[in-house]
Amino acid sequence: MNWKRGILRAGGGFTVRWLLPVVLGLIVGSASPAPAQQYNEANDFSYALKLFNEGFYDIAAQQFSTFINRYPNSGQLADAHYYLGESLFQQGDYANARVEFQSLAVGFPQHERAPQAWKRVGECYRKLKNWSEAAKAFETIKILYPDHPLAPEGLLEAAQIYLQTDQLARCEQALREFLDRYVESAAYPQGRLLYGRLLEKKGQLEAARVQYQKVLEITGQSGYRIQATLGLARVQRKLGFPGRAADALKQVVAASPADKQVYPAVLELAGIYLDQNQPENALAVLKDASARFTSAAQKRGLARLKVAAQFMAGDYFAARQEAEKFVEDDSLGSLFRFYLAACLQEEGQIDRAVQQYSRALPQLEQSGFTAYARQARLNLIDLYLSRGNVAMAVPLLEKLTAKTLWPDEVERRVNALILAAIGKGQLALGEQWNSRLLRSNPHSPFRDDLAYALGKAYFLNRQLRQAREKLSQFTGTYFASEWADSAQFYLDFMTRHLPGDQQVGLTRLTGLLGELLMDEPRDRLLFELGQIYLNELKDYPRAVQIFQQTLKYATDSLAQARSHYYLSEAYLRWWELSRFRKQASDSLREKAAFALKQAMIFLNQAPHPDTLVYRYLNYGLDQQATPPDRLMEFWQHFVVTYPRSKLRGKALLKLADLSLATGDTTGALGYLDQAAEAGGSASLSGLALWKKAQVLAGQNRLDEAVATLKQMLLNYPHHSYQARGYSVLASWLEKQGDYLGAAQAWERLHQQFDYFNQASFAPMHIAQNYLAAGEYQKALAFAEPLVARQKPASDWVLRHYSRLMQADLYYFAGKGYFHTGDFVRARQYLFAYLQYAPEKTFADAAYFHLGKMAYQEHDYDAALLHFSFVKARPDSPYFREARELSAEILFQQNKYAEALQIYDQLLKLNGSDAGAALNYSTRRLMCLLHEGRSSEFQKGLARLRKQKSTPELQNALAAIEFEQAKISYQAKNFDAAIRHCETILKKYKKSDYADDALYYMGLCYTTLNRAEKALDKLSRFIKTYPDSPLLGQVYITMGNLYYRGEKNELALDAFRKALDVARDAPARRAAMTNLIKMYQDLGLWDGVLKLARQYVEEFPRAEDHFDKRILVGIALSRLNRYAEAVDYLKKLKIEASSEQEPEIQFYIGEAYFNAGQYENAIREFVKIPLLSRKTKLQWEASALYFSGQAYERLGRKQDAIRMYQEIID
């Protein structure tokens, strides 16, 4: 026992209140001789209880422990165990407390404190974080004492633990039992809230929404209502309705501004505004809340969001000032220091940012803020590398690369580090990190860039062996890289211009010396010496001097030709090397050209005449001064003169370029064909095909260009243009509308050349093309895993630094799910795109698809809102349709003036499109008609009639006539409606509205109760328009006529035919509903069950969808499948609204009643008045009546009379 804690106050003084009972105990103890000490059971218990009640838990625990040992047979033993457990619990000794509570619960199961003891056992286990045992203890209350008031509470506690530990199936089982059994519990709304959270966690968002809505319907308690509204807001946000979530939260905040439970709603609302990129709105909410929520924790929470909002708004100074207030905070100081550093970084105060990040980093790690610590490291690395400080960046990266697999953001920093190290000349460090990068990710997109950078660095560092090795490996492995040509240039340069194995040169020099001593001819030895300086030692100035000397000793034209040839080559190489070193002079270029001209004099005796001519045409001729036609002649002569030259292919490419320069594309294509077939090398042949494809594409001969490019890609699989070839091929196929082929080309690029820069964009192109091809599942199969890898940060400041590399994939996934009808996922991805994409290239399309989904779900207000965000762009395919649908919605909502404005706007934007203009003009006239603007309508109609008659115009005039018929029908002016329909059938009988007119005539006669006339028109319709989309509606109308006339067989036949031929959802729904009603009336419950199930499956979003689900349960009961009906209806009740719940509860009781289980029936019936404040009297009265009937069956007449009396009262 901690006696000191009992005796001393916090300030160190004695506690007199504690001392008195202790002194009293000592006096009593000292007054009695030890050998004759007497015990009094009642006094001992009272004394221990008094200590407990006064808060002396440590002494009380000692006394109760003594009591238990001293009086093992006491009648108060159970209470002693309980109070001992409580005393230990209050001291935080949960392990021993649990033992005492469990001793009571197990040893005295009938004791009144046993249920409470089990509850305490669960609480002890929970304190000890033994979740499974805690849940078992809580559930034990319900198992042993199902009718005790603590039973529902224990069940909820168990469910809470199951939810917390992701045991969702057990959680659902516990909650379903609670909601079914403990309707009268005061915690019933809490059960509904928990069930909503469970459904949220399972991703069943619509079902979760129902639960939260139900809480709002059944309780007026502020706390429950706030929690329910928060739940609704979360669900709406996840469903892709952030605007609705914000509206709900605003209502909560406005209704209970001072309630501390509103605080989470404020945070959630501000978060929604930040997600929607509305930092100003977030700041307004936070400013209003800061005066009301003043505790330290609340201030911190508001400040975090305020800093984020100011940061997002670009007000880094204000954000920094706010963050500085909390950097010394005990709990969140490290986070605010991170924010402070981020603000400094954005302001360009690099040194101060580094200082603050460095201070924040260990604090963040110690506090467990892993994501922030990680980002602090990444930002520090960026800042250090921006200053070229490789040494400071390395240890930071070491920490981030401890794991085997590195995420993308770490790979990017490693790439930057390697390039910085190379730039600093630290090649060993660069090689070390490059090796580590390749071990972590052998397919790193940076691997070719880094291999090339290292090879080039070795070259510039004069480490030629390493350079040759690295660049040779590069050209073999990454032959299609953007750097492939540059790498080959360096390799060729080293081969051509830099000394290789100088030992060979020295050996040859030694040999020449020996020959000189043996009096070999001087001219031959000089020539050999020049060759050594030219080819082995790469000493071009010395080679020039020697070949000039050889000319002095040349005695015949062959020797002169040979000397001039190699002299020109030495000058040429000297000039190339000087140009590379940026030391080239015009005089050296002129000397090289002169040498080539001199060599050309001896062309016929030159060692390699084709090479000499090729060099002369490239370097000896003045390209600017020589007319293009003369250049063409020279190159044509070369091709003819040297048909077997290895340079013939290059010459043909030159001719193609010259032809293109003069506009002769036909000639160019001819030369490119010859070059492709020249057979000089695969590289050159492939290049010729590549150029040919480009020329064809430039002439808009895209089919031929595609075929040529495919030929190049198939025939030369190792060509350096392979990767860019697939990229260009994909873009051409997209232009052709071959989206499937384009997707496959992008896939080939992505799979084979993932190091190519364009390959990083391939996933987005693949998904986009599969979508365009209508291959939605393929698009999703490709996009979904890539989207799943991207984990957006939850913090808005973090999100700024961890921008998603392929955010457009969210849009493509959203569009894919839109087309597959999965609107929930579509909304989630489209809103994620709008939230995370930095450029928002597809924003108009995203808003359009969001609007289209709302439109299809008949959520017209949301549709109008989303359509309003689609911007007016001349080239946008979405703006026009968005405005058309907006006008259509407004027209259906009888907002004709607003619809009229949109049609006027569309006429201005699309007036040049005759078909669209006619459609808009027609709809405009309909708006004027509904608005009662008769004069404008007549003038517009007259103008329309003056246009040249076309089938489209006749259709438009018929549409206006039919609109007049509908207006007359709605005004119950049936004669006028019939006249308009007759006009259509007479003047516009070939229009699309002829069948509508005949059907409406049948409707008019049906409404006028002129059944024979109506049936005549409808029968005529069936014969005349057997393929009309209205055929289903016609059969439904006929079925209703027969039903009224009590001709059931004919009615059934008509409704069945309607179901067979109906093409649209409304007609099928109406046909099914009428058939189900008739089956019910006729007692055909098998038919009811089958059709109701079909309806539920086919129309999951129908307004009466849930009513049909209830009907399935009723049908099961009517078919004497009582157990199945009860089980089905109990599960259904969980999802029901407060209006529907009493009805379902009644049918559960009815099923038990009809099954003869009267006790169970009564138990279910009596729950009905407890279910909802909105219980309809019919269900309560019916429940009381059937309860009375059940009591009668049980022979309990007094109880039956009581039930009947309640109905009367």
pLDDT 10s digits, 42-89: 999 999 999 999 999 999 999 999 999 999 999 999 999 999 999 999
In sequence order, what DSSP letters do the residues of 436-500 get, joined into one string?
HHHHH-TT-TTHHHHHHHHHHHHHHTT-HHHHHHHHHHHHHH-TTSTTHHHHHHHHHHHHHHS--
Place of tokens 């800093």: 307
Instruction: Find the CATH number of the domain harbouring 493.
Output: 1.25.40.10
Cβ density class 957-980: b for 16+ within 10 Å, e for less: bbbbbbbbbbbbbeeeebebbbeb
Q: Decide which of 470, 497, 524 is a domain's last residue.
A: 497
Q: How confident is the model at residue 26 (pLDDT cuts 50, 70, 90)?
A: very low
Nearest alpha-carbon partner for 955 in 913, 996, 894, 910: 996
Q: Specify whether the CB–CB gap between 1057 and 1076 falls below 8 A.
A: no
Q: Among the three residues 479, 497, 515, which one is the final residue of a domain in this structure?
A: 497
* 1104 assigned to some structural domain: no
Q: Distance between CA 371 and CA 385 in Å, rounded? A: 21
Cα distances from 860 to residues 502, 851, 857, 931, 1106, in angstroms, run 84, 8, 8, 21, 22
Which pair of structure tokens corresponds to residue 1200?
A: 């039956």
Give per-residue pLDDT as tens, 219-256: 989 889 999 999 999 998 888 788 889 999 998 888 77
Mean pLDDT of 162-178: 95
Using alpha carbons, select from 927, 913, 1008, 1007 the residue that is nearest to residue 960: 927
Q: Rounded to whole angstroms, how far apart are CA atoms 422 and 439? A: 20
Give the pLDDT band (50/70/90) at residue 1144: very high
Indicate left, alpha or beta for 1156 from its phi (over 0: left) and psi (-120 to 50: alpha). left
In a domain, 1187, yes or no: yes
Helical (H) or strand (E) element with 1180 = helix 1177-1193
Amino acid (1-letter code) at residue 788: A
How many angstroms separate the Cα of 970 from the Cα of each of 202, 554, 625, 975? Answer: 47, 114, 87, 12
pLDDT for 520 equals 56
- Residue 587, judged by CB atoms within 10 A of its CB (0-12, 13-18, 19+), counts as exposed
Residue 511 has pLDDT above 70, yes or no: no
Lowest mean pLDDT among 25-39, 155-169, 384-398, 704-718: 25-39
Mean of per-residue pLDDT scores for the chain: 91
pLDDT for res 455: 96
- Exposure on the CB side of residue 262, measured as CA atoms within 13 A: 20
Tokens of 249: 């939260």
- Output the pLDDT for position 19: 30
Report pLDDT for 618: 92
Q: Cite the DSSP H helix spans in 1062-1100.
A: 1065-1082, 1085-1098
Q: Mean of the pLDDT values across residues 989-994?
A: 95
Alpha-carbon gap, residue 364 to 360, rounded angstroms:
6
- DSSP conformation letters of 124-178: HHHHTT-HHHHHHHHHHHHHH-TTSTHHHHHHHHHHHHHHHTT-HHHHHHHHHHH
Spatial contact of 974 and 982, defined as CB atoms under 8 Å apart: no
Please say whether the dihedral angle defined by the alpha carbons of residues 316, 320, 321 and 323, taken in this order, is positive or negative: positive
Q: What is the pLDDT of residue 269?
A: 95
Lookup: tokens for 425:
């000349």
Cα–Cα distance, 172 to 243 (Å, whole number)? 30
When pLDDT is averaged across residues 316-326 and rounded to a whole number, the result is 97
pLDDT digits (tens, 9 = 90+) for 945-965: 999 999 999 999 999 999 999
Residue 604 covered by a domain: no
Kindly state whether residue 1074 falls inside one of the protein's structural domains.
Answer: no
Q: Is residue 464 part of a domain?
A: yes
DSSP assignment of 508-572: HHHHHHHHHHTT--HHHHHHHHHHIIIIIS--HHHHHHHHHHHHHH--SHHHHHHHHHHHHHHHH
CA angle 300, 303, 305 (to 5 degrees): 115
Question: Do residues 310 and 283 lie in contact, with contact meaning Cβ atoms separated by under 8 Å?
Answer: yes
Query: What is the per-residue pLDDT for 582?
Result: 85
Q: Does position 519 have pLDDT exceeding 70, yes or no?
A: no
- The pLDDT of residue 147: 92
Going by the DSSP 8-state scheme, the letter that residue 12 receives in this structure is S
Residue ranges making up the domain that contains 481 = 390-497
Query: Nearest Cα to 356, choosing from 335, 374, 371?
Result: 335
Average pLDDT, integer, range 756-760: 92
Q: Is the pLDDT of residue 3 over 60?
A: no
Start-to-end Cα distance in the chain = 64
Reply yes or no on whether the pLDDT at 215 is more than 90. Answer: yes
What is the Cα gyration radius of the chain? 45
User: What was the pLDDT predicted at 835?
Assistant: 84
Answer yes or no: are the C-beta atoms of 155 and 142 closer than 8 Å: yes
- Kindly report, residue by residue over 671-687, the tens digit of the pLDDT: 999 999 987 789 999 99
**pLDDT tens-digit map of 105-123:** 999 999 999 999 999 999 9
| Listed residue (765, 758, 801, 802) closest to 786, CA to CA | 765
How confident is residue 789, by pLDDT bands cut at 50, 70 and 90? confident
- Number of domains comprising the chain: 2
Which comes out higher in pLDDT, residue 501 or 1030? 1030
In a domain, 1165, yes or no: yes
Is position 677 within any domain? no
Q: Is residue 1134 part of a domain?
A: yes
pLDDT for the residue numbered 1137 = 83
What pLDDT does 510 receive? 58
Position 257 scores a pLDDT of 67
Sign of CA dihedral 591, 594, 596, 601: negative
Say how many CA atoms lie within 13 Å of 1038 toward its Cβ: 25
Last residue of some domain: 497, 526, 561? Answer: 497
pLDDT at 453 over 60: yes
Q: Mean pLDDT, to the nearest integer, of 460-472? A: 94
